[in-house]
């Protein structure tokens, strides 16, 4: 089975957020399962051709705004897996900018990814026609285009519009994965004309245009053959008013084709045995368990983290790490702020480390309250080395998110032996077992969050119990191999529906 991942980023070529990690890892796991998986992303200006040995393989034109624009498709190989091929589409007019900072959902970005989506469909059509006259590797044609988030949400509709124009496209099926429903790519109605004059006459696009805009994520949901989300709980939550971001009725009407598959993490990248950013490496196996050597190594990493961040070097302190985008609407920053204010009243030896960037208001608020507390270190920056030391040296990782489609830090934390403290929503609910390999709180409030922190601290004081929980956490399998098997079943379901 041949599957083409269409996305805005793919690590290490381009990484802006967690989506880049998914696209950079999941196809490799699928290849092990016998799927011929490849990816296509924009060739942003920030991508270095020399770093990735990019080779031009195809030139074609893309229609947009009643003009024809040249696009060159480059082929490369993922540096961690040479069986994983990645295409990058280059056009200086529309695809040059991007790939450096978090996506802002601006109209300029929407034009970029509308053009990219059109380019992907044109690329697949070119591949299909090439396959009729050549048997070369470049003639590879996907049976499924797996689209990710609003950036590629219009592709399923473009495929459908292409039925009459290009019969080769009628053979291609589409899967659409929602990584975060809150980012929808709502565009001006003119985007439909810019892409394809026939697009605005497609029934589902015409219905969407009734409110004088085109919601690209909505188009992905209603236009694709099947929809997936990045955790089972999130697949259920988005059908409610609380989490549905205004699309809950549409999602309920489509619930028969919605599936939830929990994301994974790259175990080769996230490995405390080989992580060069740890002061002392350590390993874990179910056979040897939580050894004294492992505990000593984590204690050394904790001390190194405390020293680096000018915290008191006290092994008895309970050190909690928060790593993430500073998004006040999602990441529970109001709870984090409330916790910081309550720390003096708690009179417990708790240290808190925050690492991230994002909303400027929240950067300032957290920095200000952090300066007032000697046992709090707020680090407003992107620092992958520090992030890894936090995973290897913290006792716990917290994610008090108001909603969380999947979440990766809780999984990485468990891989490194840092027990998660999470709000029981979405992927956090699915991945953490309360009192077994982490701690959950159900009500989104400062008081409930603080109680979960206290509960985790007193468990930490009970060393035998804490080590049993560490064993459970580090025994969990969050590798992409597990997720890949579920995606294989999903792809088979799509193909069976079409036959």
Whose structure tokens read 């006459």? Answer: 201
Calpha distance 239→253 (Å, rounded): 9
Encode the chain in three state secondary structure.
Answer: CEEEEECCCECCCECCCHHHHHHHHHHHHHHHCCCEEEEEEECCCCCCHHHHCCEEEEEEEEEECCEEEEEEEEEEEECCEEEEEEEEEECCCCCCCCCCCCCCCCHHHHHHHHHHHHHHHHHHHHHHHHHCCCCCHHHCCCCEEEEECHHHCCHHHHHHHHHHHCHHHHHCEEEEEECCCCCCCEECCHHHHHHCCCHHHCHHHHHHHHHCCEEHHHHHHHHCCEEEECCHHHHHHCCCCCCCCCCHHHHHHCHHHEEECCCCECCCCCCCCCCCCCCCCCCCCCCCCCCHHHHHHHHHHHHHHHHHCCCCCCCCCEEEEEECCECCCCCCHHHHHHHHHHHHHHCCCEEEEEECCECHHHHHHHHHHHHCCCCEEEECCCCHHHHHHHHHHCCEEEECCCCCCCCCHHHHHHHHCCEEEEECCHHHHHHCCECCCEEEECCCCHHHHHHHHHHHHHHHHCHHHHHHHHHHHHHCCCEHHHHHHHHHHHHHHHHHHHC
286 annotated as belonging to a binding site for a ligand: no
Q: Is the peptide bond before 12 cis (omega within 30 degrees of 0)?
A: yes
Q: How far apart are CA 21 and CA 130, in angstroms?
A: 31
Name the binding residues: 15
Q: Which residues are annotated as a binding site for ADP-alpha-D-glucose?
A: 15
């Amino acid at each position: 089975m041949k599957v083409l991942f269409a996305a805005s980023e793919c690590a290490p070529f381009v990484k802006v957020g967690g989506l880049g990690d998914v696209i950079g890892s999941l196809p490799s796991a699928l290849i092990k399962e016998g799927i011929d998986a490849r990816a296509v992303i924009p060739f942003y200006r920030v991508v270095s051709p020399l770093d990735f040995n990019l080779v031009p393989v195809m030139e074609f034109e893309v229609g947009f705004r009643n003009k024809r624009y040249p696009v060159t498709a480059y082929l490369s190989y993922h540096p961690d897996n040479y069986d994983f091929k990645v295409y990058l589409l280059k056009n200086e007019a529309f695809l040059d900018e991007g790939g450096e900072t978090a996506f802002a959902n601006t109209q300029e970005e929407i034009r970029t990814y509308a053009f990219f989506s059109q380019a992907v469909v044109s690329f697949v059509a070119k591949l299909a026609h090439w396959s009729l006259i050549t048997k070369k590797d470049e003639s590879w044609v996907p049976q499924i285009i797996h689209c990710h988030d609003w950036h590629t949400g219009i592709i399923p509709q473009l495929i459908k519009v292409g039925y009459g124009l290009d019969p080769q496209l009628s053979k291609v099926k589409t899967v659409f994965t929602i990584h975060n429903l809150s980012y929808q790519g709502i565009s001006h109605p003119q985007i439909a004309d810019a892409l394809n004059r026939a697009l605005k006459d497609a029934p589902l696009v015409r219905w969407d245009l009734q409110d004088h805009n085109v919601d690209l994520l909505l188009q992905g949901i209603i236009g694709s053959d099947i929809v997936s989300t990045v955790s089972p709980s999130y697949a259920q939550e988005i059908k409610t008013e609380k989490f549905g971001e205004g699309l809950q009725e549409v999602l309920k009407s489509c619930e028969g084709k919605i599936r939830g598959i929990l994301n994974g993490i790259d175990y080769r990248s996230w490995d405390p045995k080989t992580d060069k950013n740890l002061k002392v490496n350590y390993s874990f196996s179910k056979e040897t368990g939580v050894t004294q050597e492992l505990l000593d190594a984590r204690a050394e990493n904790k001390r190194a983290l405390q020293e680096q961040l000018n915290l008191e070097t006290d092994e008895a302190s309970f050190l909690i790490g928060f790593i993430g985008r500073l998004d006040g609407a999602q990441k529970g920053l109001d709870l984090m702020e409330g916790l910081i204010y309550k720390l003096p009243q708690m009179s417990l030896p708790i240290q808190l480390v925050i690492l991230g960037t994002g909303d400027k208001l929240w950067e300032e608020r957290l920095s200000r309250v952090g300066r007032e507390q000697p046992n709090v270190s707020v680090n407003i920056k992107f620092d992958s080395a520090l992030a890894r030391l936090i995973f290897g040296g913290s006792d716990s990782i917290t994610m008090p998110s108001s909603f969380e489609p999947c979440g990766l830090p809780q999984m990485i934390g468990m891989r490194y032996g840092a027990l998660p403290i999470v709000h029981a929503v979405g992927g956090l609910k699915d991945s953490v077992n309360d009192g077994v390999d982490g701690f959950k709180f159900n009500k989104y409030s400062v008081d409930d969050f603080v109680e979960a922190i206290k509960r985790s601290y007193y468990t930490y004081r009970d060393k035998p119990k804490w080590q049993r929980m560490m064993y459970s956490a580090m025994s969990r399998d969050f590798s992409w191999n597990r997720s890949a098997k579920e995606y294989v079943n999903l792809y088979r379901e799509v193909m069976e529906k079409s036959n």
